[in-house]
Structure 1
């Protein structure tokens, strides 16, 4: 997918980010039977606030925003979240490219490891993260037959 451009996320991307996020997370809501999950109920103002100081990246196909990943540095840890790919673009490698780009931004900001989480029923997400070097670090039972699965990856070895 060479016609995809990856660039740092901007506050001005908030509207398009929210649109892609909602479209992408409908599938997750169906998997978990939860139409009120946070990515679907988040407001534009909340997204704008989150993007003010964010190491995230967006993927563009021509001028259309087709993917997004958010991330913030917490000391030496890059906290990665809300990875969303437009449904018609999923399976094209955009998620991998976004994660690699945000990991590089994390390294440049002094992060030595990245952490993210997903739900236990999101098997495609878990498989993608494991392919990219993430390893499960914790699983928290949600009491409904599902769990939050936390994964981590070393970005830079201690020197």
Structure 2
């Protein structure tokens, strides 16, 4: 993972973000036999709009190559984390962990909790998020009927009781 940096994404990164995102989500589409997963159908203009708006977008770079990205949209006391995507040839090197930690850090002090979702049958993803302190709080279908696991993580330390 040496040589990988994490920082804010800009509108100029839209094409690379979309390319990495599509490559990363192909395995999920195959797992669920659904080529219409939102990360695969999102357009370049939609990615540019996200990058231009209030959404936090972070990217990971290995040298000049964009190898991963993640987003967080703040709504009230919750940051909705999404589109964590790592280039397939870079997966398993800790880049996802670095991006998740960075987006959590960017949200700390702004929200009380983080929420995200992944496919309910995506065991590797569920283990990854559990390792990072997320817990399943429910399930729901996506617009195409794929069962999703909804996870959350508190950013607020529980109040200490006693003297």
Q: Check whether TM > 0.5.
A: yes
TM-score, with structure 2 as normaliser: 0.90
Greater Rg by CA: 2
Shift of 1:72: 1.0
Secondary structure of the corresponding residue to residue 152 of structure 1: strand
TM-score, with structure 1 as normaliser: 0.92
After superposition, what is the alpha-carbon deviation per residue over 1:40-71, rounded to whole angstroms, capped at 9, x for unaligned? Answer: 11110011111222212110000100000011
Match of residue 96 from structure 1: 97
Runs of 5+ unmatched residues, structure 1: none
Equivalent pairs counted in the alignment come to: 157
Counterpart-to-counterpart distance in 1, 2:78 and 2:149: 17
Kept in 2, the 8 Å contact 1:112–1:157? The answer is no
Kept in 2, the 8 Å contact 1:70–1:80? The answer is yes
Runs of 5+ unmatched residues, structure 2: none
Shift of 1:146: 5.2
RMSD: 1.7
Counterpart-to-counterpart distance in 1, 2:99 and 2:73: 14
Shift of 1:13: 1.2
Match of residue 124 from structure 1: 124
- The alignment status of 1:137 with 2:137, answered yes or no, reads yes
The 3 A distance-change label for structure 1 pair 46 and 131 is: same
